[in-house]
């Protein structure tokens, strides 16, 4: 193996999959990941490339791979994951709740395909952005499909550590929830969440998108897990980023 290849092996690398629906494709999201790019080599598997990092001096460390999530191998060369220390999956259906087929293909099938690909390539740590609504027994398709993906990833034996992040909802820079185009009743409940959550357990409190992304990154860089599969909700994520979970 050449010296150059040896040096690449020694550098920690991250692999990020997709973006969490329309809400994740924001400058806040990219600024948060940009901090990691300054120190690490980052490979992303995405549906479309972004130019958000082009002004960074470390932009050359970002390698973007166009993925086809209809395929078991996500349509990318498996070698793209060689040497990756941590993988992040933040893939979400673009159509929100309105297209059940798209939700199934993206929120469940593509997530599982990517996790299997990472497992096969020996990635030790897999982080999945899911939601507090994920439950394989849910009456809502969105929650049920996310729950099926969550359970499938949690059962994979090849990972040394699995981190599942379960926020209730993400808020953009303007403080508004990421939009959902689901059924009328579901949309009404979604829009009422910021107020209703104040009277519910704090696990249902929405979080700023930047806080979620920061928690995912810092959890990999700084935190140790007490168990192989960790499920991180509002309070856990706020503790990771050093904020009072009672606020």
Reply yes or no on whether the pLDDT at 117 is more than 60: yes
Percent of the chain with pLDDT over 70: 69
- What is the arithmetic mean of pLDDT over 64-84? 83
Question: Residue 186 maps to which CATH number?
Answer: 3.40.50.720
Where residue 176 falls among pLDDT bands split at 50, 70, 90?
Answer: low
Domains in the chain, number: 1
Query: What's the pLDDT tens digit per position in 4-37?
Result: 333 333 345 666 665 544 333 334 444 445 555 5
Q: What is the pLDDT of residue 185?
A: 40
Q: Do the Cβ atoms of 85 and 36 come closer than 8 Å? A: no
pTM, entire model: 0.78
- What is the arithmetic mean of pLDDT over 100-124? 90
Task: Write down the mean pLDDT value for the chain.
Answer: 76
Instruction: Pick 188 or 141 by higher pLDDT.
Output: 141
Where residue 96 falls among pLDDT bands split at 50, 70, 90?
Answer: low
Domain region containing 122 = 1-246
Query: What's the pLDDT tens digit per position in 188-233?
Result: 454 554 544 454 557 778 888 889 999 999 999 889 988 999 999 9
Q: What is the pLDDT of residue 201?
A: 54
Q: What is the pLDDT of residue 140?
A: 84
């Amino acid at each position: 193996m050449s010296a150059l290849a040896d040096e690449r092996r020694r550098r920690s690398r991250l692999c990020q999959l997709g973006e969490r629906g329309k809400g994740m494709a924001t400058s806040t999201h990219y600024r948060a990941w940009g901090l990691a790019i300054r120190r690490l080599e980052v490979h992303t598997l995405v549906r479309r490339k972004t130019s958000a990092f082009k002004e960074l001096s470390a932009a050359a460390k970002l390698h973007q791979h166009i993925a086809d999530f209809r395929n078991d191998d996500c349509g990318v060369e498996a070698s793209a994951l060689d040497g990756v220390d941590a993988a992040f999956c933040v893939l979400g259906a673009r159509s929100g709740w309105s297209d059940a087929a798209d939700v199934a293909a993206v929120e469940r099938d593509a997530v599982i395909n990517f996790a299997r690909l990472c497992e096969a390539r020996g990635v030790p740590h897999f982080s999945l952005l899911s939601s507090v609504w994920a439950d394989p027994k849910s009456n809502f398709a969105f929650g049920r499909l996310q729950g099926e993906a969550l359970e499938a990833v949690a059962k994979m034996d090849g990972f040394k550590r699995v981190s599942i992040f379960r926020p209730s909802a993400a808020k953009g820079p303007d403080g508004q929830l990421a939009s959902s185009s689901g059924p009328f009743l579901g949309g009404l409940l979604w829009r009422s969440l910021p107020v209703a959550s104040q009277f519910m357990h704090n696990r249902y409190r929405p979080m700023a998108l930047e806080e979620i992304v920061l928690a995912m990154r810092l959890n990999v860089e700084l935190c140790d897990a007490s168990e192989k599969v960790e499920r991180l909700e509002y309070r856990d994520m706020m503790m990771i980023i050093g904020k009072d979970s009672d606020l």
